[in-house]
Amino acid sequence: MRPLLITLCSIVCLFAFAAPKEEVKPLKVLMVCGGCCHDYENQKMILGEGISARANVEFTIVHEEGPEGKKDKLHKISLYEKANWAQGFDVVLHNECFGGVTDVPFVEGIAKAHFDGVPAVMLHCSTHSYRAAQTDEWRKCLGQTSMSHEKNRDLKVRNVAEDHPIMKGFPKEWLDPKDELYKNEKLWENFKPLATAFGEDTQKDHHVIWTNQYGAGRVFGTTLGHGNHTMEDPVYLDLVSRGLLWACGKLDENGKPLPGYEAKQK
């Protein structure tokens, strides 16, 4: 029986090697952008193209401004009015600036999708969005409360978590020219700092890159990214790409995409 056993093993091994590997599907990313004070028309392209060059992703972009296309911090993104607005997406990238919205059920409906488990990437003014609403749910989702920022100036960003997968490959210190330092007023319980910059107004460090756990949802955030020149920087795009993959559980301990989640070769 030994020759037969060897033959059967050989056949099994042959099929194992011959069987095609199941193709990894791209992460479905919803990017929401628009509102006051930033060049979202160009930033959505910078982020979409930059992250796609670094990870296996597929973007759906929702870009809304105010009435007649005017930048308005009071506008409410129409998609968020739906009860299951994030259904079908693997992660939501927020790059929006709607700080004047006061509708509490509306804001809590945005946060609920992340509490229920949809990962989030929070960029720049998303940290100041919905700050006028009398609810802490968006702030808990972010991981921090921030109501103001310092003047536009050069920021020296210091990596304080060099062993974290997101920060592997990020410089020990990075000069981010002409950006805005958002002041941390409160850090919520699951906030994990990754990088800081020094505040001239407050004479203390503020956290500018972080992770957070909000309910079942993983959150990556950075307050950096006011100008297009910051977002276009390879250091920034590398950072946000790693943050997005980490939020989805697709980043390994060395800061590299898990197999299949690297950018697709064109």
Q: How far apart are CA 10 and CA 47, in angstroms?
A: 49
Regions of the chain where pLDDT drops below 70: 1-21, 266
Q: What is the pLDDT of residue 8?
A: 37
Partnered with residue 60 across adjacent β-strands are 30
Judged by DSSP in three states, 47 sits in helix
Strands 217-222 and 204-214: what pairing?
Answer: antiparallel
Q: What is the pLDDT of residue 70?
A: 83
pLDDT per residue as tens digits for the range 141-162: 999 999 999 999 999 999 999 9
Question: Which among 250, 253, 254 has a CA at the least distance from the CA of 55?
Answer: 250
Q: How far apart are CA 72 and CA 151, in angstroms?
A: 21
Q: What is the pLDDT of residue 21?
A: 65
Judged by DSSP in three states, 90 sits in coil
Partnered with residue 196 across adjacent β-strands are 158, 207
Q: How far apart are CA 124 and CA 122, in angstroms?
A: 7
CA end-to-end span of the chain: 51
Q: What is the pLDDT of residue 67?
A: 83
**For residue 31, how many C-alpha atoms fall within 13 Å in the half-sphere facing its CB?**
24
Outline where 143-255 has alpha helix (H): 228-232, 234-247
Q: Which CATH superfamily is domain 24-247 in?
A: Class I glutamine amidotransferase (GATase) domain (3.40.50.880)
List of residues 6+ apart from 152 with CB closer than 8 A: 178, 179, 180, 226
Amino acid identity, position 219: V
Q: Cβ distance 186 to 227 under 8 Å?
A: no
Question: Which among 88, 90, 57, 61 has a CA at the least distance from the CA of 77?
Answer: 61
What pTM, to 2 d.p., does this model score?
0.91
Q: What is the domain partition of the chain in residue ranges?
A: 24-247
Q: Cβ distance 190 to 142 under 8 Å?
A: no
